[in-house]
Every structure is written in C-alpha cells, then in structure tokens.
C-alpha cells in the first residue's frame, strides 16, 4: 500500500508538471512553490518512516532532511530580509503576484512578489533518486527485493546528489543567481 501510494504520488507529480508546461499559461509563481513543497513533504515523511523502520541508513536520512531544512529555512530568511524583516500580514510575506499590479496598489511601499522557484537539473534528478530510494527501501522491507546492497548503494548515490544540489543552490544564492 505504501509503495503504491508513493508511485501514484510520483506519477501525479510528473503529470502535473508535464501538463503545466504543455498547456499555455498554466505555470504560476504559486505553483513553482507548491510543487517542490509537495515533493519535499512526500520525500520527508517517507524518508523519516523508512529511516525509523531501519530501511534507510540514518546518515542518508539526515542528509536528505538536512538539505531540505537548510534550503527552506534559507528561503524563509531571504524573503524576510527582502521585506526588511517587516511585513503587514502573512499574505504580504507569501505574495505571489506583484503588489504594483494587484488592484492598482501601485506598490505603496510593499515589496514585490516572491520570485518563482526554478529548480536546477541536478535537483530534479535528486528528487527522482530520493523517490526511487524510498520506493526501493519500502519494497525491500515488504518483499526483500531489491537487495539490501542495492538499496544501500542507492542511498549513498542519493546522498551524493543531495549534497551536490544543496551546495550548488548555496553557491548560486551567494552569487546572486537565484531568489532575486
């Protein structure tokens, strides 16, 4: 049941992204936040559960969850800094449309919309590895297939792409190449 739910979630995520790109005007700033957030919630819960059951190395679990906490925390801190650590409401903090174009506000001292999130290729690949890891770990736990060695190897590969993508995002941030 857990494996079926994981595969269905992965497929629906892929289908949503595919349709948003193929259908005109279906990509949005809000969707650019919600889609990766949904991925991270899915992967985090499955990673924690698999780690708790001993199906995934705790170090690998720590790397996966640690990177996501670092990136999410960094994004929240960055947004707060952009707003000068002052915002009138959570609607302003999470604004996904430009205040200057929303209901004629003309800006009036409010910060512009939050930037759209554009994941890099290795991060997309990393998400595929993370979903493959939790799926294979759950399957191994249920039917002893694939082998424990394969799950362990996939875990270390996933940890490597997780660390690499995290470091690339941090480097891009400090070079001013994202969240502008």
pLDDT digits (tens, 9 = 90+) for 150-165: 999 999 999 999 999 9
Q: Residue 133 in contact with residue 56, Cβ under 8 Å?
A: yes
52 to 55, 56, 61, 159: CA distances (angstroms) = 8, 8, 10, 17
Model pLDDT for residues 42-51, shown as the tens digit of each residue:
889 899 999 9
Per-residue pLDDT tens for 90-117? 877 777 666 554 444 434 445 666 666 7
Instruction: Indicate the pTM of the whole model.
Output: 0.79
pLDDT band with cut points at 50, 70 and 90 for residue 5: confident
Kindly report whether the peptide bond that precedes residue 142 is cis, defined as omega within 30 degrees of 0.
no
């Amino acid at each position: 049941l857990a494996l079926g739910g994981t595969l269905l979630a992965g497929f629906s995520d892929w289908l949503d992204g595919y349709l948003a790109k193929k259908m005109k005007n279906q990509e949005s700033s809000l969707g650019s936040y919600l889609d990766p957030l949904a991925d991270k919630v899915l992967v985090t819960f499955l990673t924690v559960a698999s780690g708790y059951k001993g199906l995934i190395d705790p170090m690998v679990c720590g790397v996966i969850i640690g990177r996501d906490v670092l990136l999410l925390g960094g994004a929240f801190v960055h947004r707060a800094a952009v707003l000068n650590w002052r915002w009138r409401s959570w609607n302003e903090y999470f604004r996904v449309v430009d205040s200057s174009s929303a209901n004629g506000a003309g800006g009036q001292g409010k910060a512009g919309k939050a930037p759209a999130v554009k994941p890099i290729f290795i991060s997309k690949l990393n998400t595929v590895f993370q979903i493959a890891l939790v799926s294979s770990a759950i399957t191994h736990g249920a039917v002893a297939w694939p082998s424990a060695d394969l799950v362990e190897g996939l875990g270390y590969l996933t940890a490597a792409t997780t660390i690499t993508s995290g470091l690339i995002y941090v480097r891009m941030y400090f070079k001013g190449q994202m969240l502008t």
